[in-house]
Chains A and B, each alone.
Chain A
């Protein structure tokens, strides 16, 4: 194990005198509307409309409407267009993974984050430092998007949705196996799985297919458009059918995917004695699952678990880490123990929902 030594900080020097070596906390600011990259004149995932925005991925707490100019991957732009239509942006600038451009004085490149279709980390170079903003990410295999690519850097801005060592997601196929076992145990009951519309839904479908389930999968109406979008982007999902309540008989013993709120509320209770399942990293903690009235918790997440978070800190080998978007305290503590300079970055507007 090698302990990394932090680079010296140019404390108190006027920025203009050392444009070639300016520490990142002098050019990246936390503003009320989000992370602001001053020499580039752009925000990353701002919480309200701004002049120029780089968007990491299409989840609604990262991609919001009303920006003038949006930089994002073609996948993310397609998702934004579908969810927000005209409001997505006035002008868009698609950035392929790996393509390098300059925004203002900053060199910017997007690399895969492994979170959902189109999700990206933002790699920025300016004044002698490289800063990577992870966005949301995970490290395990996902057939619906490209895998996370670790980029060595000087400052790594990491999410910490599951930033406690109690969060360790078990292997995905085992979780899907629980669902398939329940279908054999309760063959006459509809199995309603709560999934987020973007990412989790398509991932669960591909996992079911990988586990050998080739029957039809029924979708709540709110999930259909994004499944169609994924298929247009080359992600095969097999036979999908609309889950209309009219087809109540057909839904006996069927697999039904629905948004979490519908799965645990009025929509699902119109089905016959449904088994309510939920695919989420939060399902790891029993009390949380029970609070939501979930009978079959499935620990399947699109976010890094504790082991993935700590492994990623090793992989990117950054001497400095800023932690955001979750339970920062434990990860800051862990990083500090490893000789990494770490602090919590208080960004507002992120919800734990799409986990």
Chain B
């Protein structure tokens, strides 16, 4: 457990992706089986055992620590697992029992009966140090969110064993923790494990953005087009009686969408866009956002933001692997499959017939309706390839909207940008007052960042921790894909994908855009003012 705890600690503080990969690779290289396999399982969310409830943990600590001291501490620290980890009394007699290994913890939890879990946890808390207690509590409450995606952990594994990430993804779903075969393969002691079947994730096929200069070289007749929907790409896997919904990075998001998973009563692997739709009408992305990153959902959320999947592709029909077929054949199979199965809460993403790029361009510009982000171009003969191969698939996003806004607040960035003010909150005028309408942290060059940083430091009017408020003096031209009504923002509006388009050093702040202008850009609804 100590090793695992040290890894968790280091990952929590490591700002860079490469640094995280390096820490994970070092862990795989220096930690024996099965310990490293359990760590990998914990990080990829592949462990299953009886979890502990926060209330039960509060009860444990209440028996050890004065309640008022605990309340004051919790108030200061803000995170339950961390407060308990730090405040748990150290016992001098701890030396006569060794802290448990991660292996022991996992095995004990997997075989524990209800009612035994908290006794086990209490015993472990007494033998671990503060880092170990933190890792244990995060593990048993199922909230090990430390900025490591399943994809990142697998990338680290591939890097450590000099394996191909696509191969790792492919075999992943046939394996179970603690992955002895996988590590043996990585160390060159065994052959690549067989891909197996099961309900695991298959690497998804991703696209490249279409540049204007690419178009001249592309033959319009070799491509099919379909709408790119504004939700999140998902893979639906219903195999061998198991059902899973995966994000693009292979994270299992089934728990948050029972309304989809319950209707996956078929045997297939599909590719589609997860949306929120009411009576067949796609809701703004913001409504989907309310349901993301949640392990469980309430009945009210299911009622107010019902899930929907718009299908793009079929990878497996039963045992039959269709990924080698050309896109047009897969599409025909998808249509036939859909006709036969008639799955609920799903529909087919319609194809967009066109003759020549000019017609397609006009269709794209005309598509300001809710839920459409642009177009997808897929070579008619392209097989389904995991990863992001260049050429077969392109995304052609709708042209961006722009607005002149005024910089209001700046916050320090992360990682390599942590010493720069690089996260910018900007606003527009409503009457004589500025109201914040969004936040952007990219779209500028490194050289521009240095200048923005200097401007922020020289125009700070107040500081709140890492945030600086600045005087209204700098205009940022912001580009964004669309704007939607939002109850979470003071302005009542939320932008999708805002980024800094140009820094208007020349423009007086008083001439920036007004709230009414932005409100008129809202799609699919009457303008709000």
Which A residues form the contact surface with B (CB < 8 A)? 164-168, 170, 185-186, 264-266, 268-269, 273, 276, 284-287, 289-291, 293-297, 327, 329-330, 333-334, 337
Q: Please determine whether B77 and A166 come into contact, CB atoms closer than 8 angstroms.
A: yes
Q: Please determine whether B12 and A290 come into contact, CB atoms closer than 8 angstroms.
A: yes
In the complex, what residues of A have CB within 8 A of residue B22's CB? Answer: 185-186
User: Closest CB of chain B to A185's CB: distance in Å?
Assistant: 6
Q: Please determine whether A290 and B13 come into contact, CB atoms closer than 8 angstroms.
A: yes
- Which B-chain residue is minimally distant from A330 (CB atoms)? B72
In the complex, what residues of B have CB within 8 A of residue A330's CB? Answer: 68-69, 72-73
Contact of B13 among A269, A284, A297, A334 (CB under 8 A): A297
Interface of A is mostly: mixed
Q: Please determine whether A166 and B419 come into contact, CB atoms closer than 8 angstroms.
A: no
Interface of B is mostly: helix
Chain B, range 248-287, C-beta contacts under 8 Å to A: none
Question: Is B372 interfacial (CB 8 A cutoff)?
Answer: no
Question: Is B65 interfacial (CB 8 A cutoff)?
Answer: yes
Known contacts A166-B87, A266-B419: A185-B26 contact under CB 8 Å: yes
Chain B, range 1-41, C-beta contacts under 8 Å to A: 12-15, 19, 22-23, 26
Interface size on B, residues (CB 8 A): 33
Chain B, range 72-101, C-beta contacts under 8 Å to A: 72-73, 76-79, 82-83, 86-87, 90
In the complex, what residues of A have CB within 8 A of residue B82's CB? Answer: 285-287
Given contacts A284-B130, A287-B79, 13 further A-B contacts (CB under 8 A): A164-B73, A165-B86, A166-B76, A166-B83, A166-B86, A185-B23, A286-B82, A287-B77, A291-B465, A294-B13, A297-B13, A329-B72, A330-B68
Q: Please determine whether B72 and A293 come into contact, CB atoms closer than 8 angstroms.
A: no
Q: Please determine whether B13 and A289 come into contact, CB atoms closer than 8 angstroms.
A: yes
Known contacts A170-B129, A291-B466, A293-B418: A284-B69 contact under CB 8 Å: no
Alpha-carbon distance between A237 and B412 when the two chains are bound, in angstroms: 35
Question: Is B214 interfacial (CB 8 A cutoff)?
Answer: no
Which B residues form the contact surface with A (CB < 8 A)? 12-15, 19, 22-23, 26, 65-66, 68-69, 72-73, 76-79, 82-83, 86-87, 90, 129-130, 134, 412, 414, 416, 418-419, 465-466
User: Closest CB of chain B to A147's CB: distance in Å?
Assistant: 21
Contact of A293 among B73, B87, B134, B419 (CB under 8 A): B419
Alpha-carbon distance between A295 and B9 when the two chains are bound, in angstroms: 10
27 A/B residue pairs, CB under 8 Å, sorted by A: A164-B72, A165-B65, A166-B83, A166-B87, A167-B86, A168-B86, A170-B129, A185-B23, A186-B22, A265-B419, A276-B418, A286-B79, A287-B82, A291-B466, A293-B15, A295-B13, A295-B14, A295-B19, A297-B13, A327-B72, A327-B76, A330-B68, A330-B72, A333-B69, A334-B66, A334-B69, A337-B66
In the complex, what residues of A have CB within 8 A of residue B15's CB? Answer: 293, 295
Alpha-carbon distance between A294 and B419 when the two chains are bound, in angstroms: 11
Alpha-carbon distance between A284 and B79 when the two chains are bound, in angstroms: 13
Q: Please determine whether A269 and B65 come into contact, CB atoms closer than 8 angstroms.
A: no
User: Closest CB of chain A to B148's CB: distance in Å?
Assistant: 15
In the complex, what residues of B have CB within 8 A of residue A294's CB? Answer: 13
